[in-house]
Amino acid sequence: MSKNKELKLGVDEFTIILSTSSSFEDIFSWSDIAGEIVQEVLKLARLEDIFGEFLQAESKKQQGYSKCFAPESPMHIQTGYHPLHPNMQVFLKFSAWAWAFYQSEYVRLFSQPMDIVNFLNLIQSPKYSTKFSRIDLTADFKNYDDFDLNQLYADCKSEKIIAQNHEGKKSARKLTAIENQGEVNTIYFGHKGVGTRSFLRVYNKKIQVEATKGFQLKESVSSDSWVRCEAVFKGIYAHQIHDFLLNEVSTPKELEMFIASKILNRYAFFDTEKGDVTDFTKDLQEIAKGSNFSNLRSENPRDHSLAQKLNHLVTDSGLMSCAYYAYALFGDSGRSEFWSLLQKACSEYKPSRENTAYLKKHRSLLLKQTLKEHFVL
């Protein structure tokens, strides 16, 4: 039996610029001011309560910034500045995983709701002003059996279906797709390069999550299908979204209506043969009008890196084949002896630097699940 259709809206990754209006006499004063801004946003957002201490990053720094700070975590969350370029100001970046984790942990630790509007209000300070330099808004279409990416790409190439903006004009001249063995997994509407203010990515989220054992794995395996429309806004478009969210949105219902309308303003799919928008666009329009259902994503992220290692051990490493050979050749006693010898080898194993580094980065997240829960095979 097919599962019910489900449409959820949310925020994926985003980057905020924290700009000071303070004057400073020299470049050394700027470093002091930037350091104060970093400490202020860490305190207001309770980031170290949630992620642990932010230490100076030695690698994977935000492009263009040399003084960056991040926690010991597999999730990408980072803040920082450039000591020699005050015009770049201070940045704070959340990856999708870090943002999902932050929301769920904030609710758990402080018993208060957390979404992008609450976050913006939380970090306001007289020490700086804020704006987005990038924000990705998402619409997740789950169990939409008729949302076929192969058909959508073919129809868009032939212009049977057109992605259009709120003025009814074609919103993206460039159309590209990523295929795997003849199947379209991702479609891009618009340019992704430097200077782009907006583009849309429509992709098979279920395949992506399950192939990488991503933090939404449990959510993915419970769905028959999952297509995500992810609208990326940069520059002035991101600035406008920031100002609207901060000044005009105050409730979860208003937030989901805004996300739906913002995606539709740039990327509504119109069927030229029917003379009407597609069914999945109609569903998004209903949310923009204020449907009675709650359509914001509720995050429950998990670290599946250990599950991935266990899955490899059981299915691909040859371990289970060896266990079978021991049984086939020597019977039940051979199988028992095999596991006994393996247990002895494990007890004598000397952990490598890689083992230690992995646990240092992942320990706190992995301990949020039982060992049995990590066996997602």
2 to each of 143, 210, 283, 294, how far by Cα in Å?
8, 20, 18, 21
pLDDT grade for 306, boundaries at 50, 70 and 90: confident
Arithmetic mean of pLDDT, 280-293: 89
- Any domain includes 359: yes
- Any domain includes 118: yes
pLDDT, residue 80, reads 97
- Any domain includes 300: no
pLDDT of 307 higher than 80: no
Arithmetic mean of pLDDT, 210-225: 86
Q: Which residue has the higher pLDDT, 115 or 320?
A: 115
For residues 237 and 168, membership in a common domain is answered with yes
Arithmetic mean of pLDDT, 246-259: 96
pLDDT in tens, 127-139: 999 999 999 999 9
For residues 260 and 349, membership in a common domain is answered with no
Q: Which of 15-29, 203-217, 224-238, 330-344 is predicted with the least confidence, judged by mean pLDDT?
A: 15-29
pLDDT, residue 303, reads 66
Arithmetic mean of pLDDT, 206-235: 90
pLDDT of 184 higher than 70: yes
- Any domain includes 58: yes
Q: Which of 16-20, 79-83, 330-334 is predicted with the least confidence, judged by mean pLDDT?
A: 330-334
Arithmetic mean of pLDDT, 30-34: 93
% the chain with pLDDT above 70: 97
% the chain with pLDDT above 90: 65
- Any domain includes 104: yes
- Any domain includes 294: no
pLDDT, residue 372, reads 81
For residues 284 and 344, membership in a common domain is answered with no
For residues 40 and 176, membership in a common domain is answered with yes
pLDDT grade for 304, boundaries at 50, 70 and 90: low
- Any domain includes 295: no
For residues 177 and 72, membership in a common domain is answered with yes
Arithmetic mean of pLDDT, 291-313: 73
For residues 113 and 88, membership in a common domain is answered with yes
For residues 363 and 247, membership in a common domain is answered with no
For residues 220 and 368, membership in a common domain is answered with no
For residues 255 and 344, membership in a common domain is answered with no
Task: Report how many domains make up the chain.
Answer: 2
Domain of residue 325 covers 305-374
Arithmetic mean of pLDDT, 16-22: 90
pLDDT of 311 higher than 80: no
For residues 221 and 282, membership in a common domain is answered with yes
pLDDT of 377 higher than 60: no
For residues 39 and 147, membership in a common domain is answered with yes
Q: Which residue has the higher pLDDT, 121 or 322?
A: 121
For residues 283 and 313, membership in a common domain is answered with no
pLDDT, residue 257, reads 96
Arithmetic mean of pLDDT, 46-52: 95
- Any domain includes 299: no
